[in-house]
Amino acid sequence: DQQVKQNSPSLSVQEGRISILNCDYTNSMFDYFLWYKKYPAEGPTFLISISSIKDKNEDGRFTVFLNKSAKHLSLHIVPSQPGDSAVYFCAAIGGGSNYKLTFGKGTLLTVNP
């Protein structure tokens, strides 16, 4: 059973517009959420995170929103740039584990010039 779901395998946006990547989770014990970005031939790199005690965290062009009642989080990228084109993974930690990241399947974001 997949505990972290990214239901959109891909997303295409125009440069300068907003990119919104979505993630749903089923385990209510998750208490920390992370977004990773992955370019081809590279490992995932940490992008931004949010604790379950918050509903928003912002870092430059990247903002993550958490809706605990809906078990949903989203990553907003504004404005989107061609260099943002990558696979984005949502991950969660908690639920009795203090080490295990549970990953979604990823969303391929393409930002068109």
Residues that bind other proteins (CB under 8 A): 4, 9, 32, 34, 36, 41-46, 49, 89, 91, 93, 98-106
Whole-number Å distance between alpha carbons of 35 and 33: 7
Q: Closer to other proteins at the Cβ: 22 or 79?
A: 22
- 45 vs 112 by CB, closer to other proteins: 45
Hey, what amino acid is at 100? K
Cis-peptide into 79, omega within 30 deg: yes
Distance of closest approach, residue 98 Cβ to other proteins, in angstroms: 4
Closest approach of Cβ 19 to other proteins, in Å? 20
Q: How far is the CB of 46 from other proteins (least distance, A)?
A: 5
Among residues 59, 39, 49, 43, the alpha carbon closest in space to that of 90 is found at 49
> In the 8-state DSSP scheme, what is residue 100?
P
